[in-house]
Chain A
Amino acid sequence: MDLEQIKKSAINEINNASDVKLLEGVNVKYLGRKGVLTNILRSLKDLSMGDRRKIGPKANILKKELEDLIGKKKNSFINFSKDDLFFDVTKPGLKISSGHLHPLSKIDAEVRKIFLSMNFSVVDGPEVESEYYNFDALNIPANHPARDMWDTFWLKSSGPAKSKFLLRTHTSPMQVRFMETHNPPFQIIVPGRVFRYEATDMSHEFNFYQIEGLMVGHDISLANFKFIVEEFCKKLFGPKIQFRFRPSYFPFVEPGLEVDIKLGSGSWLEVMGAGMVQRNVFDAVRYNPDEVQGFAFGMGLDRLAMIKYKIPDIRLFYNGDLRFVRQF
């Protein structure tokens, strides 16, 4: 085969190579260790000086030429080639495993962020409580039917005890604990786990989360409460939310209210109990009820998360199923 023929067939084959593998085959065939052109170049030393001068430079030029062509073609594969699937950008990206936060942690973070932005501080409190903080100081006396509003888990005491311990049935005891050690004006929220002695079903768990709110000053009014709550709900659920404020009863607030929200064309959903702090609670923490006033509220974090993320069953939060957690 003379050089012209080699050139012709090599170029032809390079042009027809449809992927890198085939191109590499062409490369090996002509330029490899035992390639056609390599053999010619290697055999030069056996030729006469005249032939060597005639063929040598041409063969070297052809070698260079073919190397360039193959290189260019190779690049065309690496660059985006329309009719070549070697670099398929539609292949899935590398899977980077990242962990998932529990939806209750996510909504807790979001709620805290909104309240921090409204100048509320965030305070933590104990889950095991005394009867005093959970009930008495909150104007829920012993032997009053109002106490039956909270089904309580009691702790066994070892031996005779002066006061009984329980698992807090709400985050409201922190109102008392905080006010005992701080002076108004202030505004706080208290997120935390609470407990109710009741059977579990789609909307009840025996442990769940609440966020307590308390704002006390010299002239903090019920209208202020409405402002704070509406701002909060709009930030959490979007500006199109509708509200309903209606009377309710909790012994530690007066007036007592409940707040319902409506998203889109859905039905009214109860999200919060609230009211103006009852005078007896201020008495219990040695505030002068004639000089300070303020509001308190409590909402179920689980319920907020269920509404926001459209979770139908509260029990999903506490069974540790990663098929659930990994959706968030």
Chain B
Amino acid sequence: MKFSFPLIKRFLPLVKNKAQIIEALTMYAFEAEDSIGNSFEVNLPPNRYADVSSHWGIAKELAAIFDWFVDYGGMKKLPVVDFIKNKLSVNKKKNLDIEVWDHKLCPRYTACYLEGILIKDSPKWLQDVLIDCGLRPINNVVDIMNYVMLEMGQPLHAFDVDKLEGGKIIIRWAKRGEKMITIDGVKYDLTPEILVIADAKKPVAIAGIKGGRGPEVSETTKRIIIEAANFDSVSIYKTSKILGLVTDASVRFSHLLSGELAILGLGRSAYVLKDLFGAQIIDYFDSRKKPLPKHILKFDINKFNKFIGTKLKCEEVGAYLRRLGFRNVLKDEWEVPILRTDIENHEDVIEEAARLQGFNNLKPQAPKVNLVPATEDDVIILKEKARCALASFGVDEVYNHSFVAKKDLNLVGVKLDGAVELENPISQEFQYLRPSLKPGLIANFEHNSKFFNDFKIFEIGKIFNRNGKRIKEYNSFGILFASKNKETFFPLKGVMNSFLKSLGVIDFIFAPENSSKLAPFQENSALKLEVDGNVIGYLGKFADVFKDWQVSISELDFDKLLESIESEEEFQPLSKYPAVIRDISIFVGKAVQIGDLMQEIELSNKELINDVDLVDEYFDSKRSNKQSLTFRIVFQAKNKTLTSEEVDREMDKIISLLKRKFGVEIR
């Protein structure tokens, strides 16, 4: 909200410059910053509109901070017309015929009837204040409505009495089908939950938001009614949203103003009109017959000190409260300033005193706590472990947005009703919550392929899907290897092997998976990763859409991975006896899978066979239907040195097994 420095200076002649104000407000009240010319900007918190969305309010706040008094031009307080003292009594039949139909949505409606209005320009100083605050001067009456709003915070509206049908004002709900054109010429369709100000026939203003065409003040206006009302904040907020109409008035009313501000604002606007332009105050109306109740709160200095962590005396804190306009009515009882609708409980009072003392001046204090071992959630520990393991394998980490486009759903084979759609996406590119990390990784691949020929990336993040009404989110792990011309599937498989082992996943197997139904993998080039019979993810070669590039990708359900972790590392006694290494070279049909051969060899004697490895592989053009493979088998016993004969026997066993089961030939 914009403020005019010269107007503040009228209230606080001691104030030096804008910088002084900005610093004081920022450190003791709320954020403020410089603006062009004579104005400065205040970032008003929602709870302070009631008392400081005005120059008067800001001046009072600054006076409290500096421990000054506000200057009212020699008066004790801001000069207003005191209607009761002036014995102006309600005479509604004559001048003011006002009805309030809903006292909940309109807790207070006050109005003042003035005659002898002469429309002209307002004085320059007043116009300047409006301009400083971003408003446009129009004529003296409208300008004073705006000026008093800026000065005191109460939105006001002036009606030309002669243009009000039946001379009547009714605060009622709009009728179904009723329309209204606002003073700026925009037409609005009204609905019955919208509160309007109407004359005998039609709405003349959307209550608390904007005036309508018709009874607005014009060149010829002679007699006016000023409205200063108080409206239900929720109702104004909702109406403003429904109509898409935000005004100075609607913003203020949405923040719950005090009903007392209405009568003060009315009195002030009448005073200024009389003072500057000699308008005659004839009559007034107030829908509220009794004064607002006083708001008294108890203040407990011990609670204050315990809450803030200070050892202040009651008088010290009391002084801060007094500066803010609180009145000590009894020993520990304080009356809350009438405009402060935000002060409801003891903590509200504590906050006021504490900030005026200055949070910056508070001494830090180590908390006294019982030591309980601090822990981290398992998923956080595993994420960190996974990240470090992958970095050590040379894989770089990326972060992607949580949103994807419709085409990304197709890419990973997710149906529309299985995806979570945003009601208000930033754009079509970010319309759905990502159901997989793959689209992001593939986008990263495309981007980085412009700069690198060979790279490996991973991401750990949340993915989302929908099952009917239920929206589910999972932690996911995705990894992509890309290389220009070089094969990436087996490097990725190898890293995944080591990665899983390093996390403590023991019993996992990669099993071939029919990839035709598994987007976005190539035919016959996908594996599923199983732990204890549960599929926790897939690994595959990416469909060949990238020229020259070989791209392999894997995505695992990180939550399931977490459940699959079996144990911490455990020491295995080192064998005291030497290992014997034998190679076996074979020809075997192309259709035979290497994984099956290796498994067969391993299972032939689990006790003695320590490791099996594929060390050579080639295709002979002369034997086009065969593959030539060499396996290296490591034999080792825990309790003795294996003799050559014993190993020979094992080898014979393996050879006959392989011959029988797979029809291999020994090379």
Chain A residues engaging chain B, CB cutoff 8 angstroms = 97-102, 104-105, 109, 112, 115-116, 119-124, 126-128, 143-146, 149, 153-159, 161, 165, 167, 185-187, 191, 193, 195, 197, 199, 206-207, 215, 217, 219-224, 226-228, 230, 243-249, 251, 254-258, 276, 278-279, 293, 317-323, 325-326
Contact = CB atoms under 8 A, between A and B. Distances in A.
Given A119-B371, A155-B423, A320-B440, A126 B473 contact: yes
Nearest to B398: A320
Contacts of A153: 422-425
B455 interface: yes
B422 A247 contact: no
Interface string B213-246: 0000000000000000000011001100000000
B430 A322 contact: no
B480 to A, nearest CB: 10
B359 A255 contact: yes
**Which 5 A-B residue pairs are closest in the complex by CB-CB distance?**
A223-B309, A221-B309, A249-B45, A320-B444, A99-B391
Interface stretch (B109-117, B146-154, B321-329, B349-357): B349-357
A220 B366 CA distance: 10
Nearest to A192: B462
Contacts of B421: 155-156
B376 interface: yes
25 contacts: A98-B394, A102-B397, A112-B380, A119-B369, A119-B374, A124-B380, A128-B433, A145-B237, A145-B251, A199-B426, A219-B306, A221-B306, A222-B362, A223-B364, A223-B365, A226-B365, A246-B359, A247-B28, A247-B30, A248-B30, A278-B347, A279-B347, A320-B440, A322-B448, A325-B397
Q: Tell me what chain A mostly uses at the interface: helix, strand, loop, or mixed.
A: mixed
Interface of B: 26-31, 45-48, 233-234, 237-238, 251, 254-255, 306-310, 345, 347-348, 350-351, 354-355, 359-360, 362-372, 374-377, 379-380, 384, 387-388, 390-403, 417, 420-426, 430, 433, 440-441, 443-444, 447-448, 451-452, 455-458, 461-462, 464, 466, 468-469, 471, 473
A161 B469 contact: yes
A191 B462 CA distance: 13
Contacts of A318: 399-401
Contact of B377 (A123, A223, A323): A123
Contacts of A321: 447-448
A322 B464 CA distance: 26
Contact of B400 (A123, A230, A255, A320): A320
Contacts of B425: 153
B399 A247 contact: no
Nearest to B366: A227
B387 A193 contact: no
Given A99-B395, A246-B31, A255-B359, 9 more contacts: A122-B380, A127-B462, A153-B425, A155-B421, A255-B347, A279-B347, A321-B448, A322-B444, A325-B396
A124 B347 CA distance: 30
Contacts of A121: 374-376
A319 B447 contact: yes
A56 B19 CA distance: 106
A122 to B, nearest CB: 4
B374 A120 contact: yes
B308 A248 contact: no
Contacts of A187: 369
Contacts of A123: 377
A320 B30 CA distance: 38
A246 B380 contact: no
